[in-house]
Chain A
């Protein structure tokens, strides 16, 4: 890094100790229980990772139970019913409660440190997401103790999971719990996108970002686009189970395959969502141990983007056996095999980095070797199952179980362990001892291969997955015995790693700065990390993995970078322009608070109320939560105009409340992309059933009626016009309240008309068509309702002095929301009008 001397305060005026104390007073989390109110990224990131680690142990214990049961034929250890809950929970816990939250925690913990920021964009939202995850995950896992755990497999195929065949509460636990957890993932992904784009050290253009940030940007965008289809699917299935809306019931115009499409449009990207961050960890570690900067930075970024796109085009490779048309099979098969290309680019970029460097061998490298061995094998079996004829044999057998564990454990757990040993000195401030890391590695590596290699063979010998036992004459027995022994070795390996961590925490000596000679900003902060991470923020002039953390760390601690002083007790960091990387605002974070915990607990109670079918309580909970969000917004922001604030190095930028492009605006846009994907999935579901489901056309078509539709469109446009009027009035220094009032009136009109349309529909329980129209129109109503919340909040906050001609953020957000509501509402109404016109088309279909 090249640094010009700060023209401002002379260096001797800066005292690292004083600065540290001042910043800690502002940023520090309270002691004891007050920690629960913390919104700090280090605290929350660690909390995510530890919680995910606990869920990994739970999932691992379930896996051991599975292996114990399968080790011998005709085993009487578990019954079929218990086994079904255990394998479903194992898959669900590992995918939703271990892998995704673990990568979120890792990203939340590391990204600000790698990018030279003091926190993530939305600390309270992050805390809210954590509590949602914890509560949702606990509901799912605790259900096992009551014997009502989900039992239809981790992809919950209908009709097995629908009411007639799963009358118990088991499926509801999955649908509600997972949706709860996924909302947490969506809020987190939104936070990450905004943080990566807007909150970096000045001078860090996109092309200078540490490569891990690129991996997380792609991952977060994939979450934004990939999770909504499953959220929508879960809502539809829960609506079918709870209220009888038949989206998936073939006797009433629904389709069982619709669920599979919605699930795998999510499910396939999900697997890459898990792998990509892990690859990002490796791309961070490889150059350090190769002692050579990562080669092919641009090629890797291009490969990541290709990965992201491809992953959304290949979901049907999970459905080769369902009888989808032959041409479609060929397309999905070719697209699936193309995934090899970005993967190979990635792997050869690492090999090239080693080839051009002077590699050295240390514990993280051991795990990297384990990754390479296992992941390459998993990738190769992946190409095999992408080939349709072979998959027709391998699908739903233990061959696939083997394949997915080679990819998931090789592609996620091993890189994670490499990252654990790499960043341990940073997180604990203690030098690694590594006494047990090596034996632990070999136990895990050998145990893993023994466990799962055998499953390829049992699969080829015809062992279907999810069988709780087998007669024993098929030739599977010895392979299963070996596999279970491998499982025990594997478990011992993880126990050894846990012991190693305990020893490290107890006996580790203090680590020096940058023990691995890495070139990234994370090593320039105090170890263990302080709450504020950077005492002052660096300016970046080179690619951010080629800096010298030792030199830079001392300068930053002395407050020689940006924001090297405290002001008004604010928790400050810098926001930058997305592409130029120049500072364009001071972001002032809200204080830590218990609100996220309270809100998430209320949402949790609402979910429980739905689980126990106490719908009035659930509705009440819904309104309480809405009120909380309005209330919570009341304290955000600043009551005065400040104008440009000095940030050091002779620069001055306005606070985020007065900035042109402040993080909440970007966040709203990202959230609306996710929201729009939910809508697109719903429309897809409507058309899908129309085109392929049995029992069409419906007995009675749902028609919106031209007059109500015209009225609704008028009210939607009026609401969006009022939002613009309010914004313009405020900008002129006038009073926006009359416009806000008119907007509220328009919003009420929308909800009223929508209610009338809903009331005039045929019974949505009669057929999938009215059910879909019911959901579509309900979508407008829900958005109009949220628009009302925005308006109420605007009026209150204007009264309280948070809005001014300069501080117009609130009204901007409202405008974006109302515009989206209007556009999506009009699209929906057109679809509703168009569907009956399509009825004749449906007659001629196969």
Chain B
């Protein structure tokens, strides 16, 4: 339990929010966690009682057991849960009244190319720059197989699928200027380079974005990619 509550940090932790998306999902998770713990305990206690105190449970008719446990319990738990979850899901959707910054994330075996049409049209490889506190609309595409774009500290994942464009909304509220605090990864298995298909996320105040993008060296992979043992010279082809 201490492990669970204590060590929630980490550059890829879904329990250490750095934006509103993950914050609301993490709230949902903690709610479900405590609810589940309660239901689990309830079931185990009931089992212990019926095994050890046969007479206690026999006072309740079989039909009532089945109706209360099989219909009553789910009826009590599911509607609020589903409602809260739908509400959380709505909050992850774009808010119409704000203009979002547009960024393109093109996946290919096995690296990420990010383009910034709203910031001068430059591109970076395996390093994503995000404006702090601004809603961002990420357009996801793939050049080959299915990949999945995931920054656990900011929001849930969304797949890059060849032949279609998926859009993901996110916002980074914190960690501006902290290098290595937020990472992203490919979440869908995409071949032998999958494990190495990670990227770094750097958050800047909006007015420093363009400079940061321009200053990003090309062909210089971020740290966590070089740290992986890629013995047979994993063919991470640089894009174009």
Contacts and interface: CB of A to CB of B under 8 A. Distances in A.
Interface of A: 74-76, 79-81, 84, 152-153, 157, 159-160, 164-165, 250-251, 255-257, 295-296, 299, 303, 321-323, 326, 329-330, 333-334, 337-338, 340-342, 344-349, 351-359, 361, 369, 372-373, 376-377, 380-381, 383-384, 387-397, 457, 460-476, 479, 693-695
B57 A321 contact: no
Contacts of A76: 229, 231
Contacts of B205: none
B82 A381 contact: no
B192 A84 contact: yes
A482 B82 CA distance: 34
B117 interface: no
Nearest to A397: B187
16 contacts: A76-B229, A79-B232, A160-B189, A323-B158, A342-B70, A348-B65, A352-B62, A376-B40, A387-B85, A388-B89, A389-B156, A390-B25, A390-B85, A392-B25, A460-B8, A472-B227
A251 B143 CA distance: 11
Contact of B231 (A79, A159, A257, A462): A79
Contacts of B157: 321, 392-393, 395-396
Contact of B62 (A74, A296, A392, A471): A296
Interface centre among B86, B156, B167 (most CB of A within 10 A): B156
B193 A355 contact: no
A162 B70 CA distance: 44
B78 A461 contact: no
Nearest to B151: A462
Contacts of A390: 25, 28-29, 32, 85
Interface in B144-164: 144-146, 148, 150, 152, 155-159, 161-164
B55 to A, nearest CB: 9
Contacts of B113: none
B237 to A, nearest CB: 14
B219 interface: no
Interface in B182-240: 183, 185-195, 223-224, 227-232, 234
A351 B195 contact: no
A344 B73 contact: yes
Contacts of B192: 79-81, 84, 468
Contacts of A352: 57, 60, 62, 65-66, 69
B122 interface: no
Contacts of B164: 250, 257, 323, 694
Given A345-B66, A467-B195, A380 B39 contact: yes
Interface stretch (B44-52, B99-107, B124-132): B44-52
Contact of B70 (A299, A356, A377): A299
Nearest to B32: A384
B29 A384 contact: yes
B57 A355 contact: yes
A362 to B, nearest CB: 12
Nearest to A153: B189
Contact of A475 (B9, B46, B145, B185): B9
B85 to A, nearest CB: 4
Given A351-B46, A359-B54, A470-B195, A256 B146 contact: yes
Given A352-B66, A380-B36, A462 B82 contact: no
B163 A694 contact: yes
B50 A359 contact: yes
A482 B137 CA distance: 39
Contact of B145 (A165, A353, A460, A468): A165
Nearest to B156: A392
A356 B28 CA distance: 38
A566 B146 CA distance: 63
Interface centre among B58, B85, B150, B164 (most CB of A within 10 A): B85
Contacts of B29: 384, 390, 393, 460
A482 to B, nearest CB: 9
A405 to B, nearest CB: 17
Given A74-B228, A462-B12, A326 B148 contact: no
Given A256-B161, A471-B224, A694-B164, 9 more contacts: A81-B192, A157-B146, A323-B164, A330-B86, A345-B66, A359-B51, A383-B81, A387-B82, A461-B15
A467 B189 CA distance: 8
B40 A389 contact: no
Interface of B: 3-4, 7-15, 22, 24-25, 28-29, 32, 36, 39-40, 43-44, 46-47, 50-51, 54, 56-58, 60, 62-63, 65-66, 68-71, 73-74, 77-78, 81-82, 85-86, 88-89, 92-93, 109, 144-146, 148, 150, 152, 155-159, 161-164, 166-167, 183, 185-195, 223-224, 227-232, 234
A390 B69 CA distance: 26
A356 B82 CA distance: 34
B85 A388 contact: yes
Nearest to B188: A396
Contact of A344 (B13, B69, B144, B167): B69
Nearest to A300: B66
Contacts of A342: 70
A141 B224 CA distance: 35
A210 to B, nearest CB: 19
Nearest to B88: A389
Contact of B166 (A75, A323, A333): A323
A462 B70 contact: no
A739 B177 CA distance: 86
A355 B58 contact: yes
B3 A457 contact: yes
Contacts of B148: 321, 396
- Which 9 A-B pairs rank lowest in CB-CB distance, beginning with the nearest? A392-B156, A355-B57, A462-B12, A250-B163, A348-B69, A345-B70, A352-B65, A295-B62, A467-B195
Given A384-B36, A392-B25, A372 B44 contact: yes
B22 A393 contact: yes
Nearest to B3: A457
B163 A333 contact: no
A463 B12 contact: yes
Nearest to A341: B74
B68 to A, nearest CB: 8
Contacts of A389: 24-25, 28, 85, 88-89, 92, 156
A92 to B, nearest CB: 14
B14 A461 contact: yes
Nearest to B167: A323
A460 B22 CA distance: 11
A81 B224 CA distance: 20
A160 B162 CA distance: 11
A74 B229 CA distance: 6
Given A165-B144, A389-B156, A469 B25 contact: no
A392 B152 contact: no
Interface centre among A321, A355, A466 (most CB of B within 10 A): A355
B81 A376 contact: no
Contact of A159 (B146, B166, B228, B234): B146
A392 B155 contact: yes
A346 B224 CA distance: 48
Contacts of A463: 12
A466 B71 CA distance: 38
Contacts of B69: 344-345, 347-348, 351-352
Nearest to A369: B47
Nearest to B29: A390
Contacts of A468: 192, 195
Contacts of A475: 7, 9-10, 13
A369 to B, nearest CB: 7
A434 to B, nearest CB: 19
Given A76-B231, A84-B192, A470-B195, A323 B161 contact: yes
A106 B173 CA distance: 56
A469 B162 contact: no
A476 B13 CA distance: 10
A663 B231 CA distance: 60
A466 B192 CA distance: 10
